[in-house]
Amino acid sequence: MTISKLCEWKSHIACVVLSAFLTLALPISTTSRAAGLSNSDVRDSSRDSLADDSVQESRLRLYHAHTDEKIDVVFRRGDAYVPEALDELNHFLRDHRSQEVHRYDPRVFDLLADLTASLGRPDTEIEIVCGYRSPASNAFLRATTTGVAKNSLHMKAEAIDIRIPPVKTFRLRNAALSLQRGGVGYYPQSGFVHVDVGPVRRW
């Protein structure tokens, strides 16, 4: 091999090595700049991604005994309620006799989520016995059954009657009482518990 060819060969190898080194050493910031992002943008995006992953979600899975409907919805993310989810829940918990819809106090949903969590069943399905109750429905029940309050908080969408199979009714009642978040009614013969966000009381 002549000296000139040897020099050409060495030059070729040097170029290949240099090209490979530049490819491997290309900083992330160069790619970011090519996409129109600054280093601070990349850092902010990473922080936002981590923040989104850390936001706690509150979910409810409900079954309505009278309409045979089911719903599985995230109603809260962090400290913010999800408006669309609240609308879905309001419709789901409508008066099943008149189909009237009332805006529920969202604290009821927080109460239900905390109640299932306190039972060690955060993702369990709750059976709804009674949600919102129109004044006409409340008057009808007062005339045909017993134990219906004249000024029931069901009419304000601040109360709900529930079961959580296979949790025993008395255990459900005790869990609700331990939360101290409002009224708790125990109806063992009918197999359900009333909870509301009114004054703390029990019957």
Residue 62 to residue 163: CA distance in whole angstroms: 10
For the chain, give the mean pLDDT: 84
pLDDT over 90 (residue 15): no
* Helices 107-118 and 169-179: angle between axes, nearest 10 degrees: 120
Spatial contact of 58 and 80, defined as CB atoms under 8 Å apart: no
Nearest to 109 by CA among 134, 92, 133: 92
In one letter, which amino acid is 24?
Answer: L
What mean pLDDT do residues 109-118 have?
Answer: 98
Return the pLDDT at 184: 98
Question: Could you report how far apart the first and last alpha carbons of the chain are, in Å?
Answer: 104
Q: How far is CA 92 from CA 36, 86, 135, in A?
A: 46, 10, 18
Spatial contact of 167 and 121, defined as CB atoms under 8 Å apart: yes
Sheet of 125-130, strand order: 80-81, 70-77, 57-64, 125-130, 159-163, 192-196, 183-187, 201-202
Question: Where are the chain's structural domains?
Answer: 57-202
Radius of gyration, CA atoms only, the chain: 30
Listed in sequence order, the residues at least 6 apart from 197 whose beta carbon sits closer than 8 Å to its beta carbon are 105, 107, 108, 111, 153, 158, 159, 181, 182
Spatial contact of 156 and 132, defined as CB atoms under 8 Å apart: no
What mean pLDDT do residues 93-105 have?
Answer: 98
pLDDT digits (tens, 9 = 90+) for 158-173: 999 999 999 999 999 9
Q: Give, in words, the CATH class of 57-202.
A: alpha beta
